[in-house]
Each structure stands twice: as structure tokens, then as C-alpha cells.
Chains A and B, each alone.
Chain A
Amino acid sequence: MSSPAVAVPSRGKPAKANLSGAPVRRLLAPAVIFMFVWMIVPLVMTLYYAFRRYNLMMPEVTGFAGITNFKLMFTDPTFWDSLINTLVLVGASLVITVSVGLGLAILFNRTFAGRGVARTLAIAPFFVMPVVTGLIWKNMLFHPVYGLLAWVFRHLGLNPIDWLAQYPMLSIIIMVSWEWIPFALLILLTGLQSLPEDQIEAVRLDGANRWQEFRHIVVPHLGQVLYVVVMLESIFFLTSFAEIYTTTSGGPGTATTNLPYYIYQSAFFQYDIGISSAAAIGAVILANIFSIFLIRFVAGNLNTGSRR
């Protein structure tokens, strides 16, 4: 199994060539096969179902459906609502988490007594199970009578808001943002802490003010980090599910039905495998729009030196 063309240059010794054949493949194979079976095979099956007549309530109706499922999906107003809701949820949560996260990262990048404790408290929401987030907010904070926000509003002399009924999408955005601001904060803070100190010293000596320093040193350096945060969060926000499942169940009407919830409903309540698969393909394509850039970025970073 010794192949001379093994791609282990520079320090390559003959002894090593032996090892890059079968044993290595044997080490790699289980993980590759596992991921293939659990992710790629189902993905191909979804694509197959998307072109089939397949409803669990009508098992006798089978066969190739052509683009019928896609046609039905595109004429279903709920699909369009869910697509728009998905984009609104992703867009608004992105704006909120990134801007608030950046503000907090700058705030926590200063040295002050008890910074560790404060930061630790601020990032805690990220570790809360999304199901718990949904229930706590829905019941104890958003409740129009017994919720804490209603109490605050009454004390301010305002009418309490029935959040989930009056502003359902905003409520979902608030919950999702609450969970993900810590993520943006943590990553942006890591980015800030690796700022080139010498450059900052240099521009300060040149008499740059705080704003110029921020604009010309901090922003470009953070640009890369922001890019990663935006891409990762987009992919995670696209698949938000538990927060909606536990609070609004997609409603009122279709006000908070996003793409994952639409797929869940058409598969598990209308038993229409064909249409839900077509929508699932849509979700995968949407996610890919973001992940292609991200994957390219990760791939580019792959071999630029190991850290520290």
C-alpha cells in the first residue's frame, strides 16, 4: 500500500508512506460512512420524495409527481408567509444580536472589577434549553395579566401588552435574540481581545480620536469576526423551531410560521410527504446560500497555521 505520491511533503519519511494507505482509510471510514448514512442519504431521499406523490393518509396514491409538489407549494399562501416570516426572523434577530452583541463586547472589553462575573451572567442565556426559554418567556414574562412585563407596564401607567397575541413575531424575535446575543458577545469579545494593540498605540500617538480608532482599526479587524457571526447565526436562525413550538405554535394564523414549522406541519399534521419534502429542499437551498460563503471561509482558513 505504499504510494509514492502521498501528500505529506517536507518532513516525509519513507516509513510514513506505509501509513497513509489502508490503516488511515480504516480510521477515517467509520466517521465518513456514519455521516453519509445519517445526513447525505436522507438528503437525497428528501429530494426524491419532493418529486413523488406521497401522502401518508392516501397510501394508494403513488408515483412520479414531476414538479407538482413545487407548484402546489408555490401556490400555497402559507408557504409564502412562512418564507417571509423566516426572512424577517433571521434578519431582525441578526440586526439585534449583532448590534447589541457588539455593544456589549466593547463594554466587556474594558477592565473593571467583577468583569468575569458580569460577563458570565450575560452569556448564561445561551446555555438555556430553547424549550425552557419559550416557556419562561411565554408564561412568566409575556403573560398579559400575570407576566412580569405586564406588571412593569402597569407601573409605568401603560396598558399591558398581550405580547404573543399582539406582536407574535416580535416576541419570537425577542426570545431568539435573548438566546443569541450572548453568542455574538462571546465571539466578538474574543475578536476584540485579539486586536492588534501595537496598531492602536500607533494611531493614538498620531492623535486619532476614539471614533477614528474604532472606525479604522477596530472595524476592519472585527470585519472577519462579524462575517463569521452573521453567517453562523443566519444558519441557526433559519432553523429556529423550539421557541415557536412552545409559544405560538406558528400562530396566530400564520404570523409566526417559519419554514421549519411549515415543513413540520405539512408532514406531521397534513401527512403530505411530497409537499413537505419540496419545502425541505427549499430550506436546504436557503441555508446553502449562507453556508457556501461560510464553508469557503472555513476552508480558506484550514491550513493557515495552527493556533498559539
Chain B
Amino acid sequence: MKDRTIGGILLTALAYFVALVMFFPILWMLLTAFKTEQNAFTIDPHFLFVPTLDSFRVALEQGSGYLHYALNSVVSAVVSTLVGLLLAIPAAYAMAFFPTKRTDFTLVWMVSTKFIPAVGVLIPIYLVYKQLGLLDNLAGLTLLFTAMNMPLLVWMVYSYFKDIPKDLVEAADIDGATTLQTMRKVILPLALPGIASAGLLALILAWNESFWSLTMTDHTAATLAVYIASFKSAEGLFWAKMSAASVLTVAPIIVLGWFAQRQMVRGLTFGAVK
């Protein structure tokens, strides 16, 4: 029911206005990224200017190390998601298709680990990692991301498996397929869209993760979060460069996030809101 009354038009205008206010800091970052450093750091902000790609060039040039951190971010996000799925899919499969008396407990336990604050486990993990030489180590960081996303992945994949009729598993079973065959040939193709969206969400969360990267890595395994955070002492000197680096870091995730909206609600609320 489209509303063409004055009130309706005002509400629509208000919606646009609020959307712009919310988006504005991102827009401002985007604009600043296309400025020169002199233009970026002025008392009266420049809204109209000749855009330049200089800051991007500076942000990406050899000495900045951007690509090193970007590679770490890509590897840790992608590998942690893949390892997470590799562990979560069989677990979710077992719980969805062969529930036992303990399944509910296991599932709730898995979900509840998501609610343990990271600081609650930070100190032992830091000390053990130090002992094992896993500090500032990409594998160590990646495994932490996996642990962080596991509850979400198990839950989401489980909920997608629940949508698939059990009869399919039983039929394959009667035809003599092994558990692995049934999972790979029958169930996975059906659940693929769901699994993909669970993976996408895990990827976004791992990419944006800052707590573990800031505390457990220094340079070798540092991700973009650590790189961007290093600008915190750069008072006004590198605003354009900082913005350019931030845009390169944030833009792909915002785009992916727009695709993941619906699944995000389902995943982040653990199915409580559909």
C-alpha cells in the first residue's frame, strides 16, 4: 500500500534522511580516500574536490605492507571458514539426521560457547600459544577464528539440514550408501545454498575480527585490523591514506554483507528470529 499523503511523503523523506545519516561516516571515509592529504586535513571540509587515486597508490605501494596484511586477512578468514565448515558439517549432519538423547544438550552447549567472552579465555590461550610458538602465527590465529565461528556454523548448518526431509537419508541408506556417500551425494547438494550463506557470514565475521588479531599478533601474522589500528597514533598526517586503506578493507565486506542480510538474521539470532 503506497502512501501518497503528505504524512507518507514526509515519512519516506525521513527514512532517506536517516539512511544517509547512518551511511554518512562511510561516505565521508570514501570521499576522503579520494583526496590529497592536504585536502583531507582542513579546517573547513572540502566537499567538492578533484578526486585523485594518489592515496590508494600510497596505501598499496610496496613499503606500506598493505598487501602483506591483506594476504593474512584473506588466508585467515578463508581457511578458518573452510576448516570450520569441515568440522561443522559432519557434526550438524549427525545431530540433524541421527539425533540421540544427548543431541539437544550438545547443540545448546555448542551454541553457548559463543557467549563466553573472548577475554575469559584470552590469558590461557596467550600463554599456551607463547609456549607453543603460536604467537604472531597465522595458523594459530586462524584456529582461533575457527573456534570463534564454530558455534554459528554448527547452528546454521544444522538448521538448514533440519529443512531436508529425513526420508532422503533413509532411502539412501536402504540403497546401501555409506554415511559419507549419503552426506556428500545426497544432502550436501541440497543444503549447498544454506552452507554457502553460513560460510559467507563466518567469512565476514572473521575478516572483521579485531580482538584476537590485536592481542595475539604483531607483524608476521597481523591482519588488516592490526594494520588499520596502527594509524591510531597518526594525528592528521595520513588521513587520506588511512581512509584509502580503510575503504579497501571495508568495501568488499559491505558488499558481501548486503548479500548476506537475511541469513545474518537467522544465523546471529540462532534461529530465534526468522
Contacts and interface: CB of A to CB of B under 8 A. Distances in A.
Interface of A: 6-8, 11, 13, 15-16, 19-20, 23-25, 27-28, 30-32, 34-35, 38-43, 45-46, 49, 104, 107-108, 110-115, 117-141, 143, 145-146, 148, 151, 178, 181-183, 186-187, 190-191, 194, 224-225, 228, 232, 235, 238-239, 241-242, 245-247, 259-260, 263-264, 267-268, 273, 276-277, 280-281, 283-284, 287-288, 290-291, 294-295, 297-299, 301-303, 306-308
B131 interface: no
Contact of B94 (A27, A39, A113, A298): A27
B99 A30 contact: no
Contacts of A141: 25, 28
A273 B28 contact: no
Contacts of A306: 159, 162-163
Given A46-B124, A123-B261, A115 B15 contact: yes
Nearest to B112: A295
Contact of A242 (B143, B162, B214, B264): B214
Given A129-B225, A140-B28, A307-B163, A238 B117 contact: yes
Interface of B: 1-3, 8, 11-12, 14-16, 18-20, 22-23, 25-26, 28-29, 32, 41-45, 87-88, 90-91, 93-95, 98-101, 103-104, 106-108, 110-113, 115-128, 143-144, 146-147, 150-151, 154, 159, 162-163, 166-167, 170, 173-174, 179, 204, 207-208, 210-211, 214-215, 224-225, 228-229, 231-232, 235-236, 239, 242-243, 246, 249-250, 253-254, 256-258, 261-262, 264-265, 268-274
A240 B272 CA distance: 23
Contact of A287 (B15, B28, B117, B232): B117
A127 B249 CA distance: 11
Contacts of B265: 186-187, 190
A142 B107 CA distance: 44
B269 A280 contact: no
Given A28-B106, A124-B254, A135-B231, A129 B210 contact: yes
B139 to A, nearest CB: 13
Contact of B123 (A120, A129, A277, A307): A277
A88 B26 CA distance: 27
A275 B238 CA distance: 38
A239 B228 contact: no
A239 B211 contact: yes
B25 A283 contact: no
The interface residues of chain A, by DSSP majority, are classed as: helix
A241 B211 contact: yes
Contacts of A298: 108, 111, 270-272
Contacts of A111: 1-3
A283 B120 contact: yes
A302 B99 CA distance: 13
Given A140-B239, A151-B43, A267 B147 contact: no
Contacts of A123: 22, 257-258, 261
Contact of A145 (B28, B43, B104, B173): B43
Given A187-B269, A239-B119, A267-B122, A178 B170 contact: no
